[in-house]
């Protein structure tokens, strides 16, 4: 099956700093989604981005499908950005396969 | 966006009892739903794919007789943990795709925390 690798596994930022999270995947995919899992466990869908670039406020994402990677950018980080960020992919009718996540801590 | 609900959000039970978790797509129809399990500080692992009107497909290593899945309608799938034991304590999350939408976004419920004593 498809392998999904995320880096870095852990990240500590000072409030206001910018960061880049990376997701590499081992095969071509139909779909790539970025999620933020909040402290209560709810997965918040950030982006559906199988290719190209999207922006939503302080967050943006870019997927280069031909090179099998995606990047999530967080600018001017806030303490509320803390949590775990997951990248997940699928191809065909298969379900999403998740990476191990990046655990982000933003300190004031 | 599409909404997926789960009930209950929390359950504590004694070892040996069975627990049923419901997953509903509230504003869309889902012929396929997915059940994931997440242990503390780990990623989500797919347990099974639930198909409306047919048997579920289980991932390798997941006991189908222990984790019973029923997908009785286009908006409801249930997961029953039978004869639960402490090692079954985990965070269970269901998911569904809205097949009508052009984007193949997968939506997730809020999860159910199970603690088996």
- C-alpha span between B36 and B43 (Å, rounded): 10
Reply yes or no on whether the pLDDT at B100 is more than 80.
no
Q: Chain A contacts of B49, Cβ < 8 Å?
A: 95
Place of tokens 């290719």: A51
Which pLDDT score, from 0 to 100, does residue B102 have?
56
- C-alpha span between B31 and B70 (Å, rounded): 12
Q: Chain B contacts of A100, Cβ < 8 Å?
A: 42-43
In sequence order, the β-bridge partners of residue B84 are none
- C-alpha span between B53 and A80 (Å, rounded): 42
Inter-CA distances, A52 with A24, A66, A68, A71, A86, Å: 15, 11, 12, 11, 18
Q: Taking CB atoms and an 8 Å limit, are B113 and A41 in contact across chains?
A: yes
**Chain B residues touching chain A at CB-CB below 8 Å:** 1, 32, 34, 38, 41-46, 49, 91, 93, 95, 103-108, 110-111, 113
Question: In which band, very low, low, confident or very high, does the pLDDT at A4 lie, cut at 50, 70 and 90?
Answer: very high
Which pLDDT score, from 0 to 100, does residue B101 have?
65
Reply yes or no on whether the pLDDT at A31 is more than 80.
yes
Which pLDDT score, from 0 to 100, does residue A30 have?
87
Q: Taking CB atoms and an 8 Å limit, are B95 and A86 in contact across chains?
A: no
Per-residue DSSP letter, A95: P
Give the mean model confidence (pLDDT) for residues B4-12: 96
Which pLDDT score, from 0 to 100, does residue A101 have?
98
The minimum CA-CA distance between A61 and chain B, rounded to whole Å, is: 16
Token code pair at residue B60 = 């390798």
Place of tokens 């995320």: A6
Residue with the larger pLDDT of the pair A94 and B86: B86
Q: Between A41, A48, A99, which is nearest B103 by CB?
A: A48
**Per-residue pLDDT tens digits for A37-85:** 988 899 999 999 999 999 999 999 999 999 999 999 999 999 999 999 9
User: Which candidate, A18, A35, A20, places its Cα nearest to that of A75?
Assistant: A18
Reply yes or no on whether the pLDDT at B26 is more than 80.
yes
Q: Between B43, B46, B104, which is nearest A31 by CB?
A: B104
**Cβ–Cβ < 8 Å for A34, A46:** yes
Which pLDDT score, from 0 to 100, does residue B103 have?
62
Token code pair at residue B108 = 């997730």
């Amino acid at each position: 099956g498809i392998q999904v690798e995320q880096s870095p596994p852990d990240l500590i930022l000072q409030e206001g700093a910018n960061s880049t999270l990376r997701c590499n995947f081992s095969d071509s995919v139909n779909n790539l989604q970025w999620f933020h899992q909040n402290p209560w466990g709810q997965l918040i869908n950030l982006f559906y981005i199988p290719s190209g670039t999207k922006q939503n406020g302080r967050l943006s994402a870019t997927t280069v499908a031909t090179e099998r990677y995606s990047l999530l950018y967080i600018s001017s980080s806030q303490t509320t950005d803390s949590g775990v960020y997951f990248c997940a992919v699928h191809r065909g009718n298969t379900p999403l396969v998740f990476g191990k996540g990046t655990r982000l801590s933003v300190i004031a | 966006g599409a909404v997926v609900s789960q009930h209950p959000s929390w359950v504590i039970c004694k070892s040996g009892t069975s627990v049923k978790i419901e997953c509903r797509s509230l504003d869309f129809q889902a012929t396929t739903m997915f059940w994931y399990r997440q242990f503390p500080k780990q990623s989500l692992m797919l347990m099974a794919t639930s198909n409306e009107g047919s048997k579920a497909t289980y991932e390798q290593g997941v006991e189908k007789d222990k984790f019973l899945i029923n997908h009785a309608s286009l908006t409801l799938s249930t997961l029953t943990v039978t004869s639960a034991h402490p090692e079954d304590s985990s965070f269970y999350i269901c998911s569904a795709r809205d097949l009508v939408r052009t984007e193949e976004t997968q939506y997730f419920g809020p999860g159910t925390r199970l603690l088996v004593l």
